[in-house]
């Protein structure tokens, strides 16, 4: 598979993470005491619940080499050490963490019980959950002990995302988390959502997916032009599924009049400027869309995979949107490159959140 353009885009993200973590290291040096550099950031701690997986260990080694952050590998330390030895990976700069022996386990079990007691969770169950790495990692993230979590390498997507949805608060004004892929073509970068989470979104959820995707595009310094996709063009078909998309467009328009968004429209209308100009000159989209919002998960997930397999696109993602902390779920069996990419995105997100907190 070609990995040209995605490497360029990710190089920029990695350099951003690196620059900021160098600032953090400098601030710890004696000639720059922290008091003189209040804006300096601490190194980002990235938790990997599947820390005993070979690809995760290799990716962690690259994350250290690149200066993206500090990986924390979850699992049995002897097993991780044995695997690292086989792979020739130096674990020295990394932390190994086993929930079974971690000093915060009982405190976190009590906190989880308090959060979930009215959702049918008993204290005994809370304690059992805290032995599970996919629950322990988001609890440590919530507690501020970790700055980001990257998981899902060896689990089914729903099983990796569910603990985060139960534990982590959502972004302000957002009630649904959603997933996005960046697709890179020869001369184009397209953001596609929701490709991973909401199976049958209602109008409000679709609107939130569009808002989160717009914010994600801006985080990559891209000004979003958003199309909500359908099998219909601006009312050409009368159907409840079309009404739902139109309703979502209006909701976004009311909430964020600054955004360029329109729909419902078919995929070729959204991406072909000639069709937009000749047939739909009234559209708020004057150029082809660079953010495509799919009407449901079936179409979104199938479309992005086809674009990668048959359309020659390179994919970066999935990027989980809407959670108030950087928590990302990989596609199962993700490559080492894909893991490093998501870790770099998570590190930059954690740094930005820290900077926002400081300036608030
Ligand atoms: N945003 C925020 N919270 C949510 C969301 C959401 N989109 N969906 C569910 N939740 C919350 C619920 O409110 C609930 O919280 P609570 O327990 O505090 O009340 C909790 O998550 C669990 O909710 P359930 O209704 O039990 O949700 P369920 O676990 O059935 O489903 C899930 C959630 C896992 C996201 C489901 O919608 C799903 O399986 N989606 C598809 C995932 C998938 O298979 N993706 C495609 C493959 S990924 C790929 O190709 C890379």
pLDDT exceeds cutoff 80 at 253: yes
Alpha carbon nearest to ligand 1 atom 19, residue: 166
Taking only the tens place, the pLDDT of each residue in 171-205 is: 999 999 999 999 999 889 999 999 999 999 999 99
Q: Which atom of ligand 1 is nearest to the CA of 318?
A: 51
Q: Which residue lies with its CA nearest to atom 25 of ligand 1?
A: 162
Name the token pair of 26. Answer: 């400098």
157 alpha carbon – ligand 1 mean position (Å): 10
Ligand 1, residue 317: give the atom nearest the CA: 51
Instruction: Show the beta-strand stretches assigned E in 75-229.
Output: 95-97, 148-151, 178-185, 188-193, 225-229
Model ipTM value? 0.97
Taking the centre of ligand 1 as the mean of its atom positions, its distance from the CA of residue 198, in whole angstroms, is 7
Over the stretch 107-156, which tens digit does the pLDDT of each residue have?
Answer: 999 999 999 999 999 999 999 999 999 999 999 999 999 999 999 988 89
Number of H helices, E strands in the chain: 13, 11
Q: How far is the CA of 197 from the centre of ligand 1 (A)?
A: 7
DSSP 8-state code for residue 119:
G
Pocket of ligand 1 (CB under 6 A): 119, 157-158, 161-162, 165-166, 176-177, 196-199, 301, 318, 331
Question: Which residue's CA is minimally distant from atom 9 of ligand 1?
Answer: 165
Of the candidates 354, 7, 1, 50, the one whose C-alpha atom is nearest the C-alpha of residue 182 is: 7
């Amino acid at each position: 598979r070609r990995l040209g353009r995605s490497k360029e885009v990710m190089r920029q993200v990695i350099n951003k993470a690196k620059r900021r973590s160098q600032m953090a290291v400098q601030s710890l040096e004696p000639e720059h005491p922290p008091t003189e550099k209040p804006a300096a950031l601490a190194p980002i701690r990235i938790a990997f619940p599947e820390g005993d997986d070979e690809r995760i260990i290799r990716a962690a080694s690259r994350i250290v080499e690149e200066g993206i952050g500090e990986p924390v590998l979850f699992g049995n330390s002897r097993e991780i050490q044995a695997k690292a030895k086989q792979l020739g990976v130096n674990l020295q700069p990394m932390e190994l963490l086993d929930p079974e022996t971690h000093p915060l386990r009982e405190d976190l079990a009590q906190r989880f019980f308090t959060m979930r007691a009215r959702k049918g969770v008993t204290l005994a169950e809370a304690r059992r959950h805290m032995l599970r790495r996919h629950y322990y990692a988001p609890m440590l993230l919530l507690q501020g002990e970790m700055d980001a979590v990257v998981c899902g390498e060896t689990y089914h997507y729903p099983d990796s995302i569910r603990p985060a949805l139960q534990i982590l608060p959502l972004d302000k004004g957002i009630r649904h988390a959603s997933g996005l892929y960046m697709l890179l073509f020869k001369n184009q970068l397209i953001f596609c959502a929701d490709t991973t989470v909401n199976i049958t979104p209602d109008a409000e959820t679709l609107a939130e997916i569009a808002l989160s995707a717009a914010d994600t595009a801006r985080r990559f310094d891209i000004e979003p032009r958003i199309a909500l996709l359908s099998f219909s063009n601006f009312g050409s078909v009368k159907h409840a599924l079309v009404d739902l998309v139109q309703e979502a467009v209006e909701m976004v328009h009311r909430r964020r009049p600054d955004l360029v968004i329109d729909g419902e429209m078919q995929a070729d209308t959204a991406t072909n400027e000639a069709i937009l100009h000749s047939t739909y000159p009234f559209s708020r989209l004057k150029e082809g869309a660079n953010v495509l919002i799919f009407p449901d998960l079936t179409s979104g997930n199938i479309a992005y995979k086809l674009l990668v397999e048959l359309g020659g696109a390179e994919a970066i993602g999935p990027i989980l949107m809407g959670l108030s902390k950087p928590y990302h779920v990989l596609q199962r069996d993700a490559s080492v490159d894909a893991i490093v990419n998501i870790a770099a995105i998570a590190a930059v997100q954690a740094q930005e959140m820290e900077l926002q907190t400081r300036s608030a």
